[in-house]
Structure 1
Amino acid sequence: MKKLLLATAVATLSLSTVHAAPTLYGKLNVTLDQVSNADFSDDKVTELNSNASRIGIKGEEALTDTISAVYLAEWGVSTDGAGSDTDLSARNRFLGVKFANVGTVKAGKFDSYFKTAAGSAQDIFGDHTRLDFTDVLVGEDRLNNVIGFESDPKMLGGVQFNIMAQQGEGDEDDASNSRDGFGDSISTSVSYESDIGLALALAGNFDVQSKWAGLDSDKLYTDAYRLTGSYDFSKIGADGLVLGGLFQHAEPSDDLDGAESLEEQAFGITLAYSIPSTAWTVKGEYIAAETSADGWDDREIDRYGLGVDYKLNKQTKLYGVLAQTKINEALQVAYDRAEDKETVFGLGMEVKF
């Protein structure tokens, strides 16, 4: 009898341990890129890029039948040993509480809901060092010191509502405007995925500090809205074909001397086709942004991109990219760029685990 009780206790302990164990995940994504007119200079550079390679742990711990503790901690790793992908740099991380069929409250540092409103159907080259959205348009932010709520789509019939509040913790954009309260910056989104292949999202940023590519990557506290959508044509018989689109508008939260009526308008369109019964996917992207202000010539950025993926298995793919980013004369002159275009040709491999 004692042996039976002991065996039962050990088995119970083992099950609890397995249930509580975190999941290790990540991916390594490396490309060899040939960059002509790098950063709109006269330089031609061959680069080995790590492309947001990462490693993380995540998990969920049941507290009651309907409430769980959730957590995630993710670090960037430098596969190439250099550049911006510093080893163990802070990426998304949070601690939170999940309420079954209601939603999740979480606190930490993670992508704004404005950013995540553009998913894989819109940001098809998102991890590539040279082709990330952040070099074209406003809003690709991972925010510190945030508390967020994400509703469960089942609660509202497929509609998901997200809102996060960022604490400025005393940051000052000028001597008279200290951001030191709860929810100094707000990011929110509403999204919907239907069973007919249509997905839509509307997102807003309010007083969120973002990088402006049209201002040579200056950061401004910004108000913005973003509308995204995609359609999976497999629902009408065109298996593997997905169309994505994005439109957004941004303007500074505060008045800026010398840049009255400053605003950015941006849009993008993407197409991806996973060829049925093969390992091949082809995809294309066009994205454009225009930054304007009273007394300025409009500053324009346009990017054209093509990509081909070949899946070796569910976790591994080989791929190639060819893209060109162009700036107009007003932007070239404003920041003394030697060239008006940058061209990237890359071959890469991605492994997820």
Structure 2
Amino acid sequence: MKKLLLATAIAALSVSAANAAPTVYGKAFLSADYVNGEFDSNVNDAFDRDEDTVEINSYSSRIGLKGSEAMTANTDVVYQLEYGIRVDGEDRTFKSRDTYLGVVNKDFGEIRAGRNQSTLDYINNVIVNEGYWDNLGDSNLESNQKLGGLNMADSGRINNSIIWKAPQYNNLPLNLAVMYSSDANEDNGASDNDDGYGAALTFDQGTGFTLGVAYDKDQNISGEIIRGTATVDLGKYMAYPVQLGALYQQADFDYSSEDEKGLVLSANMDLNNFARPANVYVQYNNTESLDGNENSDSDQIVVGGKYFFKDNVIMHAYAGLNKADNVSTQAAGIDDNGDDAMFDTIGDTEVFVLGTGLEYRF
């Protein structure tokens, strides 16, 4: 009898340990990019910049742990600890990505607390660009730094945040997520920034057509962002393996009277004449009043493709061009006393990039 009880206890402990074991996952994405960029100052030719080089870059490389474990018959605890790393060695520090602890209940939905991707990203199913050109959110030129393509404001990860994902009701094709973020610990009271909040709603019947709308305030920017998206998979309706997408966004910055307006159009086509899965894509971005600056606009066009040697080993190739007008930055120069100094300047940029890379997922 004692042996039977001991065997039962060991089996129970084994099942519990198996349920608690986290999943280790991640990816390494490294590329070689030829970058040709120019900045032409409208103020002083001495502030012009010119870049022509080959860069080795790491994109969204990461490692993480995630898992779940039953608390009751209807409720599970869920967790994730994810950290980004630069495979190219430029930054040897692990940086927190999505890190949270939460619970999931089939009647009340899911609640997560920690550092979470904002709900604005929940409808970001239109972006097909990879590598260098996955660059939404790059809306400013850094002071005296390398050039890069400029685009509309984007979603980011929010500290001190709570997300609630509503359960589906009667199989309705709607998904609702609501987010709150506290500013209490961001700057130790040094500013009077408000707490933030956001929400996202998606419509998806599984028929190849989706709609999404999202809104947030004082999370990704100091101000408000509203975003709408639509996608259609033509392969669901005809013999064309093409997916189309459109995104429109308007950002109202607290520090500007001008609203930033952004548009993204994308198309992705699967290629069926290869031994392994492959696809090609094209994406066009347009932004008016970058970062709320009047007459500061950008246009970007990118073409690229992916080839899957295996489901988790992917070759990338892409080429793109970004042009931006009347963007502000700072440039190094010499002041009237002959000393090194930084000067404000405004000008136009043009960046061309041709790249190829390898991605490994595990």
Listed one character per residue, the Cα deviations across residues 147-166 of structure 1 (whole Å, up to 9, x for unaligned) are: 11012345561201111111
Which of 32, 52, 58 is the matching residue for 2:66?
58
Which one has a bigger Cα radius of gyration?
2
Distance 1:153 1:44, change over 3 A: farther
Mapped to 2, the partners of 1:55 and 1:169 lie a distance apart of 29
Distance 1:350 1:100, change over 3 A: same
Percent sequence identity is 27
- Counterpart check, 1:48 vs 2:71: no
Mapped to 2, the partners of 1:263 and 1:34 lie a distance apart of 33
Question: What is residue 317 of structure 1 aligned with on the other side?
Answer: 314
Q: Displacement of 1:240 after TM fit?
A: 2.8
Question: What is residue 6 of structure 1 aligned with on the other side?
Answer: 6
Question: What is residue 202 of structure 1 aligned with on the other side?
Answer: 213
> Any residues of structure 2 matched to 1:91-170 within 5 Å, and which?
91-119=97-125, 122-125=126-129, 128-135=131-138, 136-153=151-168, 157-169=172-184
**Contact kept in structure 1, 2:39 and 2:347, CA below 8 Å:** no
Listed one character per residue, the Cα deviations across residues 49-77 of structure 1 (whole Å, up to 9, x for unaligned) are: 11010000011110111111110010001
Mapped to 1, the partners of 2:230 and 2:93 lie a distance apart of 34
Task: State the TM-score, normalized to the length of structure 2.
Answer: 0.83
Mapped to 1, the partners of 2:95 and 2:170 lie a distance apart of 35
Distance 1:273 1:154, change over 3 A: farther
User: Number of residue pairs matched?
Assistant: 327
**Contact kept in structure 1, 2:181 and 2:197, CA below 8 Å:** yes
Distance 1:348 1:154, change over 3 A: farther
Distance 1:207 1:156, change over 3 A: farther
Mapped to 2, the partners of 1:159 and 1:293 lie a distance apart of 32
One-letter amino acid of the counterpart of residue 178, structure 1: D
Question: What is residue 90 of structure 2 aligned with on the other side?
Answer: 82
Gaps of 5+ in 1: 211-220
Distance 1:129 1:307, change over 3 A: closer
**Contact kept in structure 1, 2:210 and 2:232, CA below 8 Å:** yes
Listed one character per residue, the Cα deviations across residues 149-189 of structure 1 (whole Å, up to 9, x for unaligned) are: 012345561201111111011657x98x6136xxx111211
Listed one character per residue, the Cα deviations across residues 94-126 of structure 1 (whole Å, up to 9, x for unaligned) are: 00111115410110011101123212xx12125
Q: Displacement of 1:340 after TM fit?
A: 2.4
One-letter amino acid of the counterpart of residue 305, structure 1: V
Structure 1 residue ranges (4+ consecutive) displaced by more than 6 angstroms after TM superposition: 332-335
Q: Displacement of 1:297 after TM fit?
A: 4.7
Distance 1:320 1:266, change over 3 A: same
Mapped to 1, the partners of 2:290 and 2:193 lie a distance apart of 27
Distance 1:155 1:27, change over 3 A: farther
One-letter amino acid of the counterpart of residue 117, structure 2: D
Distance 1:231 1:246, change over 3 A: same
Decide which moves more: 160-169 or 97-106. 97-106
> Any residues of structure 2 matched to 1:1-353 within 5 Å, and which?
1-37=1-37, 41-83=49-91, 86-119=92-125, 122-125=126-129, 128-135=131-138, 136-153=151-168, 157-169=172-184, 178-179=192-193, 184-210=195-221, 221-252=222-253, 254=254, 256=255, 259=256, 261-276=257-272, 278=274, 279-291=277-289, 297-328=294-325, 330-331=326-327, 336=345, 340-353=349-362
Task: State the TM-score, normalized to the length of structure 1.
Answer: 0.85
One-letter amino acid of the counterpart of residue 345, structure 1: L
Q: Displacement of 1:208 after TM fit?
A: 2.4
> Match of 2:310, SS?
coil
Decide which moves more: 236-245 or 27-36. 236-245
Cα RMSD, aligned residues only = 2.6
Mapped to 2, the partners of 1:80 and 1:35 lie a distance apart of 16
Q: Displacement of 1:338 after TM fit?
A: 6.6
Gaps of 5+ in 2: 41-48, 139-150, 331-343
